[in-house]
């Protein structure tokens, strides 16, 4: 299974960033399909996920601007981030989240895309 991000590498301030992740070699069932970003020289920031059932959850710091959707017919999931500013400049990764449910639940990302750089600039 492989993940591949696609979308514009340059977005103007105040506009909407849109990225798509294509899942090849497998289906979108049974996983948490997530977006994670990494600003230049900084750490990883989880943006949000969509479960294969369609339920979503987002980082509270971005929740008002983020939408993640899933297209099972195309084996793709997408990210939309509205009203972007320079602070949204980052490498954006899509990733597959796996859950192991038990007395304590384990959630981890076992598969990552190669990442796509997005710059917000006029």
Partner 1 sequence: SYELTQSPSVSVSPGHTATITCSGDKLGNKYACWYQQKPGQSPVLVIYQDSRRPSGIPERFSGSNSGNTATLAISGTQAMDEADYYCQAWDSSTWVFGGGTKLTVL
The contact pattern for partner 1, residues 45-84, with x = CB under 8 A and - = no contact, is xx--x-------x-xx------------------------
76-81 sheet: strands from edge to edge:
2-6, 17-24, 76-81, 66-71
8 Å CB contact between 50 and 58 = no
Q: State yes or no: residue 44 binds partner 1 (CB under 8 A).
A: yes
Q: State yes or no: residue 20 binds partner 1 (CB under 8 A).
A: no
Q: State yes or no: residue 101 binds partner 1 (CB under 8 A).
A: no
> Cα-flanking dihedrals φ and ψ of residue 65, to 5°?
-115, -5
Distance CA 83, CA 65 (A): 7
Q: State yes or no: residue 114 binds partner 1 (CB under 8 A).
A: yes
Q: State yes or no: residue 93 binds partner 1 (CB under 8 A).
A: yes
Distance CA 46, CA 59 (A): 7
Using CB under 8 A as the criterion, which residues of the chain lie in contact with partner 1 when the complex forms? 34, 36, 43-46, 49, 57, 59-60, 93, 97, 100, 104-110, 112-115
């Amino acid at each position: 299974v492989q993940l591949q991000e696609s979308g514009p590498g340059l977005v103007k301030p105040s506009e909407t960033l849109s990225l798509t992740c294509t899942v090849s070699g497998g289906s979108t069932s049974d996983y948490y399909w997530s977006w994670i970003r990494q600003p230049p020289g900084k750490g990883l920031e989880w943006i949000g996920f969509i479960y294969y059932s369609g339920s979503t959850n987002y980082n509270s710091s971005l929740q008002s601007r983020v939408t993640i959707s899933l297209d099972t017919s195309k084996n793709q999931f997408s990210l939309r981030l509205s009203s972007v500013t320079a602070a949204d400049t980052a490498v954006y990764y899509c990733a597959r989240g796996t859950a192991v449910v038990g007395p304590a639940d384990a959630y981890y990302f076992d598969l990552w895309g190669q990442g796509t750089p997005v710059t917000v600039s006029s």
